[in-house]
Structure 1
Amino acid sequence: MRSTLLSFSLYLLFGCSIAMATPEVGQANTHEFQLSNGLKLIVREDHRAPTVAHMVWYRAGSMDEVNGKTGVAHVLEHMMFKGTHKVKSGEFSRLVAAVGGRENAFTSRDYTAYFQQVEKSKLDEVMRLEADRMSNLNFDDAEFLKEIQVVMEERRLRTEDNPNSLLNESLTATAYMSSPYRHPVVGWMNDLVNMKAIDARDWYRSWYKPNNATVVIAGDVNPKVILKAVEKYYGVASAKELPERKPQIEPVQKGIKRVQVKAPADSAQLAMAWKVPKLEVARLDDDEPYALELLSAVLDGYDNARLNRTLVKQERVVNDVGVGYDMISRGPELFFISSSMAKGKTVQQAESSIRKALKEVVDKGILESELKRVKVRILSDQIYKRDSIFGQAMEIGSTEMAGFSWKDIDVMLEKMQTITPAQVQAVAKKYLVDEGLTIAVLDPQPRQSGEAKQGGNRDAK
């Protein structure tokens, strides 16, 4: 996953010029409200097009699940389209399409979110539908039994028939000992096989409450008008005490962990993950997470970045290489490097090349010009994000779900501007060490005749 902060980079270097070109986008045009039932409303005005993105974010994802019921957050996401007392199963999507809108939903480790994007005059209609299923979801056991089969097939296609997904799943499950991040969002197959309709209903009753939800509306809207509409539709929902969220602190790792996965594939794969810090709400000025963000971009932020240039183009030891780090999240974080072997090359050769490239950063650091180029590249990759109504709503919602405020985004960007090459070098030296490293290797097995190379994709619902 590409980092969250990189997606905010529109402000990084040309914040003033962007503000002048699009004055409607920014903090001055973002409004926050709190309803009496605990629901948070955030409205972003952007009058450049007569469209609106309407999103409801529930702070309940796979990290809130318990053993034996993994995947229930994602299953409930599917069931949310199965009707209420007023709307029959399947009607939700049809009604949104009937007004010319698009809609979907997604579940992550930290949250579950639902969205519609419509012409501004149709906002009330989708708001009414979404508010209805916040309080009045109604599905029978037969609907659940059909949908759980869909979810199991989704797991087969996206994970069990996909060697890259299998490797990442094993890597995560090995790296984490106590954190619920060790479980896949889609759930373990055995838990899905044994899941009952009551499990999904219990999840809904526990977490789908206004005091655990944030509504984000971005587009051609009037905040005062929106507040009245939200109070009308969502204000009738009753707040409820939420389940206690117990801290599940990950124990300190004290040495390399290794895991091997055997699966049909065309080539061997290598994935390496280090335990690293994330940004904490109370410590927005902590240098290290920002430096880790920039380190990930130095290694893999553009076509000729360090790892791609060295491993793919020069040494030709791997076919591809990727780096991932997410600075803001509810749970602990990892710094990932993954690659697939070039023909005739071994995993040992790839690991050696990666370690050599990282040692060069640790020993010699990075150049000021290199860091500046990364920031410019980040900006060029993200420059059109502010033209997306949906993108703005996504940025606000995901930041809020991690426990931060949308107001913190500018603070983060300003802080990242201050990070120096020495600080990037320091985090590489401190955290990319064997004590906190987990290594996963895919041992490719022969494919059966006619077997698909990779699982397909299925819509979220």
Structure 2
Amino acid sequence: MTTSSMPRIDAVDHITLGNGLQVFVKQDHRAPIAVSQIWYRVGSSYEKRGRTGISHLLEHMMFKGTERYPEGRFSEIISRQGSRENAFTGRDFTAYFEILAADRLPVALELEADRMTNLDIRAEALSTERGVVLEERRLRTDDRPEGRFLERYAAIAEPGTGYAHPIIGWADDINAIDEGDLIDWYQKWYSPANANLVVAGAVDPDEVFGLAQTYFGMLQGSPAADPSDPPPLEPPGERRLVHRDAQSRLTHLRLGYRVPSFATAENEDEGYALMMLAGVLDGGEGGRLTETLIRRSRKATVINATYNGMTRLDAEFTIHAVCPDGHTDRLEESLRSQIARLRDELIPDGELQRTKSQLIADHFFNMDDIFNQAMQVGMLEAIGAGWETSSAFEHKVRSVTPAQLQEVARRYLKPERLMVGILCPADAGNEPL
């Protein structure tokens, strides 16, 4: 393969090894740094009740060592290279990464190849990591009213899917998982055929492909497994959750509409349109929500709209607000009016162009970081949307029309797809909020 000395900013080189491992390379030669990421196509959405949290718990166990590199040795070697490493678990993937000098890339690949198939899962190590995970759950969720609320919200908003349970898992499931469960999960999902290697930075694609073949090419493992998702359910109509929490000092209102992701949309243009609609509502200080509900009417002290289309299953278009007086009825009415306006009126050209410019600027600012460049490729591949989605971003955003935005708002931002969640202090009582 011949590579240009000045590759396009959106160019990605790709091969698939004989064992099924996919390798993606994105060049950026501005600094002599490389990012290596291994993405396994498994996360909390692949889990069933009784085994929730097993993907995240296995992520912790991946740092407990192999026969060749016992516990602590992996991190010691990476540290001695002047590098750093970590991992993260999502709903649709588990990923491990190293950030290091480009000429030290072989070290990271050798270590990752070893623990892809040779992990040593022991009961003693599991006992330690189980305690770490339960403490993490306590700090992030059990001791925080917002965390307790969001778990309850997801359970109702995502019926029939793996998104209904938390990534970290339910506490009783975490306590029930044993080393046999982890070994089975590891052997089923951690194999070359179920993984993507993404390398970004000051690297040559041919050299990376050669290194991948050297360290990963001889590995064997299970074939890529089916996540066995149940058939998708139509949104069951408008739902409502009111969670009164003794530790909550503020009242939060959350409106979430079930919408397609980039992976599930019938037409990928719908994903860009939903992103644009969120930008119209929440375009910083100039967004409609800030202007009308914070500056003018003071019905909210904090407000934002988001669309995260980077999911394997359907996504959510969300508006979140903090209500200063605790009475959410007026705030909710105003938010519904803003959604109705998206359905009923074409967005003026000036407002649309401002939103497009902001989205494109934010995208390129984010892509200035080589870690984020690798993240974008890895995430798009993990959810099944394909890395090419990112390369088309600017063109797709500029191509969205007011009529497309209105059509998508009418199709998806309607009450039948709505989940309303309210978090309020326990002394709010039972009167209408």
Provide TM-score, normalisation by structure 2: 0.93
Matches of 1:228 and 1:253 in 2, distance apart?
A: 48
Residue 203 of structure 1 corresponds to 185
Question: 1:148 offset after TM fit, Å?
Answer: 0.7
Q: In the alignment, which of 254, 264, 278 is matched to residue 261 of structure 2?
A: 278
Residue 431 of structure 2 corresponds to none
Q: In the alignment, does 2:414 pair up with 1:395?
A: no
Taking structure 1 as reference, are residues 433 and 407 closer, same or farther at Cα in structure 2, changes over 3 Å only? Answer: closer
Matches of 2:341 and 2:209 in 1, distance apart?
A: 54
Residue 145 of structure 2 corresponds to 163
Residue 269 of structure 1 corresponds to 252
Q: In the alignment, which of 358, 366, 376 is matched to residue 377 of structure 1?
A: 358
Aligned-partner SS, 2:152? helix
Q: Note if contact 1:77-1:107 (Cα within 8 Å) is conserved in structure 2.
A: yes
Residue 111 of structure 1 corresponds to 93
Question: 1:417 offset after TM fit, Å?
Answer: 2.1
Q: Note if contact 2:121-2:182 (Cα within 8 Å) is conserved in structure 1.
A: no
Residue 430 of structure 2 corresponds to none
Q: In the alignment, does 2:414 pair up with 1:433?
A: yes
Q: Note if contact 1:318-1:345 (Cα within 8 Å) is conserved in structure 2.
A: no
Q: Which string of whole-angstrom CA distances, capped at 9 and with x for unpartnered residues, describes residues 319-338 of structure 1?
A: 11121212242112111111
Aligned-partner SS, 1:303? helix
Q: How does 1:415-454 map to 2 (within 5 A)?
A: 415-445=396-426
Q: In the alignment, does 2:110 pair up with 1:128?
A: yes
Question: 1:58 offset after TM fit, Å?
Answer: 0.4
Matches of 1:171 and 1:262 in 2, distance apart?
A: 13
Question: 1:59 offset after TM fit, Å?
Answer: 0.5
Q: How does 1:254-265 map to 2 (within 5 A)?
A: 254-263=236-245, 264-265=247-248
Matches of 2:347 and 2:309 in 1, distance apart?
A: 20
Residue 5 of structure 1 corresponds to none
Q: Note if contact 2:264-2:313 (Cα within 8 Å) is conserved in structure 1.
A: no
Aligned partner letter, 2:250:
S
Matches of 1:126 and 1:243 in 2, distance apart?
A: 26
Aligned-partner SS, 1:387? coil
Aligned-partner SS, 2:270? helix
Matches of 2:92 and 2:42 in 1, distance apart?
A: 6
Taking structure 1 as reference, are residues 121 and 85 closer, same or farther at Cα in structure 2, changes over 3 Å only? Answer: same
Aligned-partner SS, 1:47? coil
Matches of 1:346 and 1:207 in 2, distance apart?
A: 47
Q: In the alignment, which of 63, 69, 74 is matched to residue 81 of structure 1?
A: 63
Aligned residue pairs: how many? 422
Q: How does 1:233-382 map to 2 (within 5 A)?
A: 233-263=215-245, 264-280=247-263, 283=266, 285-342=267-324, 344-382=325-363
Between the aligned residues of both structures, percent identity stands at 36
Q: Note if contact 2:360-2:394 (Cα within 8 Å) is conserved in structure 1.
A: no
Matches of 1:254 and 1:131 in 2, distance apart?
A: 45
Aligned-partner SS, 1:33? strand
Matches of 2:37 and 2:226 in 1, distance apart?
A: 25
Aligned partner letter, 1:107:
T
Matches of 2:344 and 2:385 in 1, distance apart?
A: 35
Aligned partner letter, 1:368:
D
Q: In the alignment, which of 59, 75, 96 is matched to residue 41 of structure 2?
A: 59
Aligned partner letter, 2:40:
Y
Aligned-partner SS, 1:44? strand
Question: 1:192 offset after TM fit, Å?
Answer: 1.2
Aligned-partner SS, 2:18? coil
Q: Which string of whole-angstrom CA distances, capped at 9 and with x for unpartnered residues, describes residues 186-234 of structure 1?
A: 1111211222222222111110000000001111112222112111111
Provide TM-score, normalisation by structure 1: 0.87
Q: How does 1:137-176 map to 2 (within 5 A)?
A: 137-176=119-158
Where does structure 2 lack aligned partners over 5 or more consecutive residues?
428-433
Question: 1:441 offset after TM fit, Å?
Answer: 1.0
Matches of 2:103 and 2:21 in 1, distance apart?
A: 23
Q: In the alignment, which of 388, 391, 406 is matched to residue 387 of structure 2?
A: 406
Question: 1:411 offset after TM fit, Å?
Answer: 3.4
Q: Note if contact 1:55-1:217 (Cα within 8 Å) is conserved in structure 2.
A: yes
Q: Note if contact 2:61-2:126 (Cα within 8 Å) is conserved in structure 1.
A: yes
Q: Note if contact 1:25-1:46 (Cα within 8 Å) is conserved in structure 2.
A: no
Looking at both structures, which has the greater relative contact order when contacts are Cα pairs under 8 Å and sequence separation is at least 6? 1
Q: Note if contact 1:176-1:250 (Cα within 8 Å) is conserved in structure 2.
A: no
Aligned-partner SS, 1:350? helix
Matches of 1:281 and 1:350 in 2, distance apart?
A: 31
Q: In the alignment, which of 167, 188, 192 is matched to residue 185 of structure 1?
A: 167
Q: Larger deviation: 254-263 or 240-249?
A: 240-249
Q: Note if contact 2:279-2:355 (Cα within 8 Å) is conserved in structure 1.
A: yes
Aligned-partner SS, 1:318? coil
Question: 1:262 offset after TM fit, Å?
Answer: 2.3
Taking structure 1 as reference, are residues 196 and 87 closer, same or farther at Cα in structure 2, changes over 3 Å only? Answer: same
Matches of 1:397 and 1:295 in 2, distance apart?
A: 25
Where does structure 1 lack aligned partners over 5 or more consecutive residues?
1-21, 447-461
Matches of 1:85 and 1:272 in 2, distance apart?
A: 50
Q: Which string of whole-angstrom CA distances, capped at 9 and with x for unpartnered residues, describes residues 162-196 of structure 1?
A: 22222222221101221111111111112112222
Q: Note if contact 1:368-1:420 (Cα within 8 Å) is conserved in structure 2.
A: no
Q: Which string of whole-angstrom CA distances, capped at 9 and with x for unpartnered residues, describes residues 21-51 of structure 1?
A: x9434344x2111111110011112221111
Matches of 1:121 and 1:161 in 2, distance apart?
A: 44
Q: Larger deviation: 183-192 or 401-410?
A: 401-410
Taking structure 1 as reference, are residues 222 and 72 closer, same or farther at Cα in structure 2, changes over 3 Å only? Answer: same
| Aligned Cα root-mean-square deviation (Å) | 1.9
Question: 1:242 offset after TM fit, Å?
Answer: 3.9
Matches of 2:131 and 2:148 in 1, distance apart?
A: 20
Taking structure 1 as reference, are residues 221 and 242 closer, same or farther at Cα in structure 2, changes over 3 Å only? Answer: closer
Q: Note if contact 2:263-2:383 (Cα within 8 Å) is conserved in structure 1.
A: no
Matches of 2:92 and 2:331 in 1, distance apart?
A: 33
Matches of 1:25 and 1:137 in 2, distance apart?
A: 38
Residue 16 of structure 1 corresponds to none
Matches of 2:221 and 2:171 in 1, distance apart?
A: 33
Q: Larger deviation: 399-408 or 147-156?
A: 399-408
Question: 1:288 offset after TM fit, Å?
Answer: 2.5
Matches of 2:349 and 2:281 in 1, distance apart?
A: 14
Matches of 1:161 and 1:304 in 2, distance apart?
A: 35
